[in-house]
Structure formats: structure tokens, C-alpha cells
Amino acid sequence: MAYDAIVIGAGVNGLAAALHLSAKGWKVLVVERAAVAGGAVKTGEITLPGFRHDLYAMNLGLFAGSPFFTAHRDRLLAHGLDFVGAERCFATAFPDGGWLGVEKNAAANAGRIARFSAADAARWHAMTAAFGADAPHIFGLLGSPLPSWQALRVAYGAWRTRGTAWVAETVRLLLASPREWLDDNFESEKLKTMLAMWGMHLDFSPDCAGGALFPYLEAMVDQAFGMALGRGGADIIITAMVRAIAAAGGEVRLGAPVQSIAVEAGAAKGVVLAGGERIEATRAVVANLHPRVLFGKLVSAPPAAAQRLTKFRSGPATMMIHLALNDLPAWSADAELRRFAYVHLAPSLGAMARTYTEALDGLLPAEPGLVVGQPTAIDPSRAPAGKHVLWVQVRVLPSRIRGDAAGQIAGREWDEIKDAYADRIIGIIERYAPGLMANVIARTVHSPADLERDNPNLVDGDSLGGSHHLDQNFIFRPAFGWSRYRTPVDRLYMVGASTWPGAGTGAGSGFMLGKMLAGA
């Protein structure tokens, strides 16, 4: 049987491309090696029955605010998509017992900031007031293929509407490091620390150029709209997309690993599954894959292009720790922290910079930055009555271990030392929330090695699909000349976190390619 398009990989971008093409009348097949769809958006009972944990992605704000969701909202809602809003979005607890947080209430946020700096509170008010006019232009760029006439029209419209000075300042924002942007705008070290941790969600230490945009956008967007979680788990967006694809006439086949991509006369003609079955694609093969997986394992490319694509650099690795709890953490800074979706634990910009350097040097960081997710504070349905789950992301770690910055862990393999390192992480949280250890019913630890085993696209345990530094972003993602989802093989396209606009649940690359292929 032949299909108009075959999509390899049922991650969020592959499914977005498949749904859009199916809705436009294309006959589409999605093939996925795993037994469940989702890629890095999965939910499972991995500690105890009844405790539903988001294995990787938890915050679905990018998806809820995406052009893809806007375009397919009715289809997705009709197939079960449901969000739970989080009005208290993120906070940072500090070692001295203080804290600072952002919620969907600009006045409350400015009031907290004013406790540390009246000047910063005034600057926050000014930034909030300007965001409504700035956002359409910034998100217009992020939602445009690069390079493209669409992106040029966005830039021209921004210049006409906002002026040359605004365009210049926005370019500075795109190029600045978090520390540079924060120092330009604020004086409170606590406020800077709270915002800079968003750079560490990607692979930007406080001093990495190009890392300022994400802290700015996350703070302003969360304040304006709040966060969005999937009711019952992040996988609700995957379930809805799979059902919507089927309703539109498409097909998603799970447990179907691709052995190779069939190429004839320089063009992709279909895929060969493990076991030898060949499936034809008459118009396109779309690979929701990391370039080192696609061009290292499934297809060959001309030598010059292959060298650039297979050298796509990973960012630092991460670890996920999932806890089943009797109760939410008892944060010593303030019980109010129990109501936030995320609590960050990162003492200072200097501590984040040290962690980043240690990880790049192959050392287990002595005190990494932690993102402590409290999904059951927002959505109690994810655990039995009165119980909770905790989602802990460790940012950032080495993929290959050369030593321990703290001099306490001797092993060099993640399979050997992951539990010992997880003990360190739980101990750090315990300092901020005494009694946590006694509160744990069960835990599951996913090391960087586990991440890559579960999903080969998480190369080197990098959950972000490759470094987002400036030499691998914008028109350089995944390589110069190949940023518009084309590949060196005709009719073979690539989407996913390794392509523009990068990691996250916004379905940007899949939707943009779907529109390009379908003509609208």
C-alpha cells in the first residue's frame, strides 16, 4: 500500500505534521518504533499504580499557545484534549529562606519584587506594559520558517510598527547572554537568579550568548497566560493527536521501527521496516528524528552535507527523578510554594555557571540546578486521593562521567551511579523542604543513559534535541542550508527539536512543514 506521506516518529512534531497533512486530504502513515506514541511527551505509572508521572515534558504552555493548536483546536478538543491551568507558575526558593515567584497576576509579582528592589519592580511594570506590543513580532518570528519571506515580512512589520531602535534592542536580546540582559535591566540578585534558571532549562548558563530570550519570554508569557498542564498527564495531547489523525483518515502504527529509508535516483520513495516490509511514499517522507539518528543510521547523504548534519552537537545531559509522595514538599521558605507548578532550586548565577562548567568538563555537579515540578498541586487526578507525584529535572549533567565535583561518587558509568547521584539530589531538596525523604513512597530515576535508551533522539541524554547555542540556532538549525526542513535527499524532510524553532511542545517545526507541503 502506498501513502502520500510517511512520518517516521510519533513525537509531537511528527504527529503535528501528520495531522495537518491528513486534514488537508493527504493519505498519511506515522510509523513509531516504541510501543507508545509521544517521544519526549509521555506519561506513565512508573513508580506505583495510580501515580501518573510525566516522564519528560510537563509544561504544555507552548502547545496551548501554539499556532498549531489554534489551527486544529476543534479537532483536538473533540478527541479528548483538556488542559488544567496553573496560575501560580514558577518560583525560586533561596538558601537564606527567601523566595520569589511569578504567577498570573502582574501586581502580585511586582509586589514580591519590590521587597528586594523598588527600581526592579518599576522596571517589571514597564516590561509588562511593553510585552503586549512586543509579543506579536517576537512570536511571529518564532513561528516563521527560516529563512523565508514570511520571516522578512514579520521583521519589516516590526520595523514599521515599532521603529529601528526597537528592532535593534530585540536583536540585542536575541544575542545577549542571560547575565548581560539581566544586568542591563535589574539590580536584585534574587530576581536575576529566578529568571536566569529558565536559561538552564535549555542549555544556556548565565554567560552563554543567545540565552536571554527564553527567561524573558517565559516570565512574561506565564504572567500573562499562566502555565498549562494536560489533565491527567502531558500525554493527553498525544492521545488527542493520534485520535484526530485516525479520524482524518491517517494511520499511526506503533512498534514499527524503521530499518532504512528507500532512496531511488536521489529521492526518498518510502521506508523499509525492521523485518523487511517496504512501504511506499509518493510525495514525502518526514523524519521526526535527530540528524545523527537519521543520517547516521537510516539514510546516506552527500559527504559534505552528511558531515555537517552528523556533527550536530548535543547540549548537556539531564536526569529525571520521579517521586510518589504522601504529601507535597513542606517548603521552609513559605507554604505558598506548595501551590506553584515549578519550584526552582538554584542559589545564584555563580552557582549555575559552576554547574554548567562542571558538566561540560565531565564532572557530576556538586549542586546542579533543579526544576521541581508539582503537577498534583495543579491536577490532583494524577495520584490517589491525598497523595502526590513530584517531577524533578536535574539541569545540567555530563553525558560521559569523568569524575565528581564533590569528590564523593567514584563510579564512571550512569548505570552504576545514578541512584547515588539521585540521593544527592533528594538531599538538596531536603535542605529546602525538610522531611521530604520520609515522605517518599517510591521513586524512579532516569539517568542520561536511560533517556537515550528510551528515546534514541535524546542523543547523549540531551532532552532538548541538540544545543541551542547561536551556532546551532535560527538558520543554523540543524545546519546552514538545511534549516527549512529539507534535507540533502529529495522528498525527505526533517522536523523535531533538532530543527527550527528547537525544543519544546509547541509543534512548530511539524506544523510549519505541514503547511509548506500542503500549500496552506
- Report pTM: 0.97
Do 39 and 457 touch, CB atoms closer than 8 A? Answer: yes
Q: What is the pLDDT of residues 20-43, one digit of tens each?
A: 999 999 999 999 999 999 999 999
> Is the pLDDT assigned to residue 266 strictly greater than 90?
yes
Q: What is the pLDDT of residues 57-68, one digit of tens each?
A: 999 999 999 999
Q: Where are the beta strands (DSSP E) in 243-301?
A: 251-253, 258-264, 267-273, 278-287
Report the distance separating Cα 221 and Cα 109, nearest Å: 13
Predicted confidence band of residue 240 (pLDDT cuts 50, 70, 90):
very high
> Is the pLDDT assigned to residue 1 strictly greater than 90?
no
Say which amino acid occupies 162. Answer: R
Instruction: Count the neighbouring beta carbons within 10 Å of the beta carbon of residue 124.
Output: 25
Q: Which residue's entry shows cell 505558598?
A: 336
> Is the pLDDT assigned to residue 443 strictly greater than 90?
yes
- Average pLDDT on 247-267 reads 97
Q: What is the pLDDT of residues 326-341, one digit of tens each?
A: 999 999 999 999 999 9
pLDDT score, position 202: 94
> Is the pLDDT assigned to residue 348 strictly greater than 90?
yes
Q: What is the pLDDT of residues 380-438, one digit of tens each?
A: 999 999 999 999 999 999 999 999 999 999 999 999 999 999 999 999 999 999 999 99
Helix (H) or strand (E) holding 512: helix 508-518
> Is the pLDDT assigned to residue 301 strictly greater than 90?
no
DSSP reduced 3-state for 166: helix
Instruction: Return the ∠ at Cα 180 (arms to 179 and 183), rounded to 5°.
Output: 80
- Average pLDDT on 258-285 reads 97
Report the distance separating Cα 31 and Cα 34, nearest Å: 9
How many residues are given for the chain? 520
Terminal Cα distance for the chain, rounded: 26
DSSP reduced 3-state for 459: helix
Instruction: Count the neighbouring beta carbons within 10 Å of the beta carbon of residue 176.
Output: 20
- Average pLDDT on 249-278 reads 97
Instruction: Count the neighbouring beta carbons within 10 Å of the beta carbon of residue 127.
Output: 17
At residue 234, φ and ψ (nearest 5 deg) are -65, -25
Do 220 and 128 touch, CB atoms closer than 8 A? Answer: yes
Q: Which long-range contacts (CB under 8 A, 24 or more apart) does 48-52 make?
A: 48/324, 48/441, 48/442, 50/383, 50/384, 50/387, 51/324, 51/382, 51/383, 51/384, 51/387, 51/389, 51/442, 52/232, 52/233, 52/382, 52/383, 52/389
> DSSP code of 365?
P
The alpha carbon of 461 is separated from its chain's Cα centroid by a whole number of angstroms, namely 13
At residue 54, φ and ψ (nearest 5 deg) are -75, 115
Instruction: Return the ∠ at Cα 128 (arms to 123 and 134), rounded to 5°.
Output: 115
Q: What is the pLDDT of residues 127-186, one digit of tens each?
A: 999 999 999 999 999 999 999 999 999 999 999 999 999 999 999 999 999 999 999 999
Predicted confidence band of residue 306 (pLDDT cuts 50, 70, 90):
confident
pLDDT, averaged across the chain: 97
- Average pLDDT on 248-258 reads 98
Structure-derived torsion over alpha carbons of residues 280, 290, 196, 177, reported in degrees to the nearest 10: -110
Nearest one of 297, 325, 302 to 444, comparing CA atoms = 325
pLDDT score, position 304: 82
Report the distance separating Cα 394 and Cα 372, nearest Å: 9
Q: What is the pLDDT of residues 69-99, one digit of tens each?
A: 999 999 999 999 999 999 999 999 999 999 9
> Is the pLDDT assigned to residue 305 strictly greater than 90?
no
- Average pLDDT on 229-241 reads 98
pLDDT score, position 209: 98
Pair type for strands 88-93 and 99-103: antiparallel
Q: Which residues of 352-379 are buried (b: 16+ CB within 10 A; e: fewer)?
A: bbbbbebbeeebbbbbbbbbbbbbbbbb
Nearest one of 40, 8, 179, 25 to 461, comparing CA atoms = 40
> Helices (DSSP H) in 40-163: which residue ranges?
61-64, 67-78, 106-114, 118-142, 149-162
Instruction: Return the ∠ at Cα 445 (arms to 324 and 89), rounded to 5°.
Output: 60
Instruction: Count the neighbouring beta carbons within 10 Å of the beta carbon of residue 172.
Output: 13
| Residues paired with 315 in a beta bridge | none
Q: Alpha-carbon torsion 95, 97, 102, 106, what sign? A: negative
- For 179, the grid coordinates are 547575565
The per-residue DSSP string of 303-360 comes to HHHHHHHHTPPP--EEEEEEEEESS----SS-GGGGG-SEEEE---HHHHHHHHHHHH
Q: What percent of the chain has pLDDT over 90?
A: 98
- Average pLDDT on 231-251 reads 98
Predicted confidence band of residue 485 (pLDDT cuts 50, 70, 90):
very high
DSSP reduced 3-state for 456: coil
Predicted confidence band of residue 319 (pLDDT cuts 50, 70, 90):
very high
- Supply the CATH classification number for the domain 2-41+58-81+233-312+462-518: 3.50.50.60
Say which amino acid occupies 119. Answer: A
Domain boundaries, the chain: 2-41+58-81+233-312+462-518, 105-225
The per-residue DSSP string of 380-416 comes to GGGSSTT-EEEEEEEEEE-SS--EETTS-----SHHH
Predicted confidence band of residue 308 (pLDDT cuts 50, 70, 90):
confident
Report the distance separating Cα 169 and Cα 155, nearest Å: 13
- Average pLDDT on 213-241 reads 98
- Average pLDDT on 120-131 reads 97
pLDDT score, position 206: 98
